[in-house]
Structure 1
Amino acid sequence: MEPILSANEIGEGLPILIIHGWELQGKAEESDFEPIFNTIPGLRRIYVDLPGMGTTPANNVKDLDDIYARLSQFIDSRLGRSNFLLVGSSCGAYIARAIAQKYINQVDGLLLRVPLIEPKNSMRDLDAFKTLVENKELMSTISTEDKALLGDVLVQTPTYIQALKAKQENVYIPAGNAADSEALGPIRDDPCRYQLSSAVLDENAKFFAPTLIVCGRQDQSVGYRDSLRLLELYPRSTYIVLDRGTHGLPIDDSERGVFGALVRDWVNRVGEWRDRLDV
């Protein structure tokens, strides 16, 4: 038996499993979701580390089907037959869709943030990068090191740049340092391994519990148009495309405010759904 995945649990109540993106870790999700979830009583947040990421060893992980299988084992061990909510970001959202199908009678709500839809890079419908708020004078004062850290800056204002730099330094760099790139790199570079099989993810299956899908209009990693197909598969979904939204959303306080409101609305809709089912 493979070792159980590492996870950090916060709070008590209805379990909510949060799945991070590729080469990230549970702590990355905590930074965005805890300011929201810690204001909502009755949620037992479970931030999991996938194989080769965070504090979970890769242990010869082979592909996304393998990661899905180990996550399923974790759910069976940690949650059993309990009902739960499910959150996934980017590649974690891709895996979450498959988990929601497998545990369809237990998952009472699904949240997909900047979801990966098309695993093959060449098949993704992406727009060319274009700065929305340009400030050449401000950018000229930024060091070469910080420019390399920040990459393309969509909104060139002092507050946005400060928030973006903080997220890079406090979230993405630590997660990248913790990831087992030797084990994960070959998976990411192989289109056949960085894709769930049809036996795991039915691309035409519907899911009827309350769903929130949040995309970034300026997402340079997965885009947003590929996710439009999810609208027919998730009849109880709220589908949002945020202007100024990148793959790292939320970045600044403005985005965090909107994102928090959307997540709280989703939790409320889940509560109504559960009341209707007399769970």
Structure 2
Amino acid sequence: MASILSAHEIGEGLPVLIIHGWQMEGRVEELDFEPIFTKTPGLCRIYVDLPGMGTTPANNVKNMDDIYLRLVQFIDSRLGNSRFLVVGSSCGGYLARAIAQKYIEQVDGLLLRVPLIEPKDSMRDLDTFKPLVANEQLMSKISAEDRTLLGSVLVQTPAYLEALKAKYEGVYRPAEKAADNKVLDPIRADPHRYQLSFSLDTQNSKFFAPTLIVCGRQDESVGYRDSARLLELYPRSTYIVLDRGTHALPIDENGLFEALVRDWISRVDEWRGRTDKSEII
């Protein structure tokens, strides 16, 4: 039998299931969300590690369906019939949508950060990268190692470079090193294995609880235009595209990101306060 996912839980109260992106781990999500959630009492944050990532063994997962089913197993075991919230980043956002769809009667809120919409790379609507703030003199001074680590830098200022490097060295690179790439790489390389076998975009999949969708206008990985169609599927959604926002957001826009998340939590509280949701259409 497949093992239950490793998870780090913080706080008490309404469960919040937080799902990280591909080759990442729960600690990556903690970096950005804990400074916000620590100011919001009454939430039990559950940061999971997906199969083959973090401290969860791959246990022979073959495709995205297998990973999704491990999440379902974890939810059934840990949460049972409890109501809960779901947060997902990147590929975790793709899985979070599937979880919200399956547990629609239990999920009281959904937060999607730079969500993966098109699993097939060739189908993604992406812009060609171009730095917003170019500083060739600054970039020429960074080491070859840092240039490899950071890749294309959107905002080439000392403060942005420092924040970006801290995030890569603090959570991204350790997560990538911990990932079981012998298992994960074949899944990622195969468009059929990297997508769920069922659709998340049918009108029957509408989700009415408060939803926050945060995209980066300069997201070089999943873009932002593909996610616009989520507006029709999530009638209670706040949809925002952040300028200066890459797939790694937030880098230096923490105040705005925090305000958006706190607004989402307040809308969830309002939703949960309603005794009769049958009127909501």
Task: Select the residue among 252, 269, 272 that pairs with 2:270.
Answer: 272
Please state how far the C-alpha of 1:134 moved relative to its aligned partner: 1.0
Which consecutive segments of 4 or more residues in structure 1 shift more than 2 A? 200-204
In structure 1, runs of 5+ residues without a counterpart are: none
Deviations 1:5-37 (A, max 9, x none): 000000000000000000000000000100100
Does residue 230 (structure 1) correspond to residue 230 (structure 2)? The answer is yes
Q: Does residue 263 of structure 1 match 2:267?
A: no
Shift of 1:234: 0.2
- Aligned counterpart, 2:163: 163
Amino acid of the structure 2 residue aligned with 1:137: Q
- 1:194 equivalent in structure 2: 194
Deviation per residue, 1:184-223 (Å, 9 max, x gap): 001000111000112x645431000000000000000000
State whether structure 2 residue 92 is matched by structure 1 residue 92. yes
Q: 1:155 & 1:171 partners in 2: Cα distance?
A: 20
Distance 1:234 1:223 in 2: 19
Equivalent runs, 1:175-194 vs 2, <5 Å: 175-194=175-194
Post-superposition offset of 1:150: 1.1
Q: Which residue of 1 aligns with 2:246?
A: 246
Amino acid at match of 1:268: S
Q: Separation in 2 of the partners of 1:19 and 1:103? A: 15
Post-superposition Cα deviations, 1:226-252, rounded to whole Å, max 9, x if no partner, equal: 000000000000000000000000012
Tell me which residue corresponds to 2:136. 136
Structure 2 alignment gaps of length 5 or more: none
Structure 1 window deviating more from structure 2 (144-153 vs 20-29): it is 144-153
Which amino acid counterpart does residue 197 of structure 2 have in structure 1?
Answer: S
TM-superposition CA deviations, 1:114-170 (whole Å, max 9, x none): 000000001100000011011111112111111111111100111000000011101
Show CA shifts across 1:75-100 (max 9, x none). 00000100000000000000110100
d(CA) in 2 for partners of 1:265, 1:133: 30
TM-score, normalised via structure 1 length? 0.97
Separation in 2 of the partners of 1:30 and 1:92? 14
Offset at residue 277 of structure 1 (A): 3.1
Secondary structure of residue in 2 paired with 1:249: coil
Contact 1:32 1:250 in 2 (8 A): yes
Distance in 1 between residues matched to 2:149 and 2:98, nearest whole Å: 33
Question: Does the alignment pair 1:27 with 2:27?
Answer: yes
State the alpha-carbon separation in 1 of the partners of residues 246 and 111 from structure 2.
17
**C-alpha separation in 1, matches of 2:37 and 2:194:** 31
Tell me how far apart the structure 2 counterparts of residues 219 and 277 of structure 1 sit (CA, whole Å). Answer: 39
Paired-residue identity, %:
76
1:278 is displaced (CA, Å) by: 6.7
Match of 1:52 in 2: 52
C-alpha distance in structure 1 between counterparts of 2:41 and 2:227, whole Å: 31
Q: Which amino acid counterpart does residue 173 of structure 1 have in structure 2?
A: R
Task: Give distance in 2, aligned partners of 1:52 and 1:46.
Answer: 18
One-letter amino acid of the structure 2 residue matched with residue 195 of structure 1: Q
How far, CA to CA, are the matches of 1:141 and 1:49 in structure 2? 37
Tell me the secondary structure at the aligned position of residue 259 of structure 1: helix
How far apart are the structure 2 equivalents of 1:190 and 1:151?
A: 24
Find the aligned partners of 1:250 and 1:207 in 2 and give their Cα distance.
26
- In the TM superposition, residue 112 of structure 1 has moved relative to its aligned partner by 0.4
Alpha-carbon distance in 2 for matches of 1:78, 1:221: 32
TM-score calculated relative to the size of structure 2: 0.96
Corresponding residue for 2:2? 2
Q: Is the 8 A contact 2:201 2:233 kept in 1?
A: no
Contact 1:98 1:202 in 2 (8 A): no
| 1:114 corresponds to | 114
